[in-house]
Amino acid sequence: MILLMFGVTGCSNKAIYDKLRLDERDKCAREPSPTYFECIERTNKSYEEYERERKEVSESEVSKLDSRI
């Protein structure tokens, strides 16, 4: 539903990523103290870092597929 709203309003991928990241941080607030900081750390990745890692994985998968052919 949320992704549909973003698609209809024409939000960018970065805006969607940022919204999902904020939602995850809200969930972290409900974590017990020992795991709170670990949870927050998992949400610290910037959109640019996420996008770079996503491209690396995608390119790696394409290379694997190419080597099978």
- Are 27 and 43 in contact by the 8 Å Cβ rule? The answer is no
Over residues 5-45, the pLDDT tens digits come to 555 555 788 999 999 999 999 999 999 988 999 999 999 99
How many whole angstroms separate alpha carbon 67 and alpha carbon 69?
Answer: 6
Cβ–Cβ under 8 Å, residues 4 and 37: no
Q: Which two tokens stand for residue 6?
A: 């973003």
CA torsion 47→56→13→40, rounded to 10°?
A: -30
Give the predicted TM-score (pTM) of the model. 0.63
Q: Which two tokens stand for residue 35?
A: 């795991």
pLDDT in tens, 53-62: 999 998 887 7
At 67 the pLDDT is 72
